[in-house]
Amino acid sequence: MFGIGMPELIIILVIILIIFGAGKLPEIGSGIGKGIKNFKKAALESESKKETEEAEEKEKIEEKKES
pLDDT in tens, the chain (67 residues): 568 889 998 998 899 889 888 888 889 889 999 999 999 999 888 888 878 888 888 888 887 777 6
pLDDT of residue 30: 93
- Contact status, residue 20 vs residue 13, Cβ threshold 8 Å: no
Measured CA distances, 12 to 9, 31, 35 (Å): 5, 19, 21
User: Is the whole model's pTM more than 0.95, yes or no?
Assistant: no
Which of 3, 2, 23, 25 is closest to 13 using CA atoms?
A: 25
Q: Give residue 40's identity as a one-letter amino acid code.
A: K
Q: Which helix (H) or strand (E) holds 29?
A: helix 25-66
pLDDT of residue 37: 94
Task: Give me the residue spans of the domains in the chain.
Answer: 41-67
Phi, psi of 2 (to 5 degrees): -110, 10
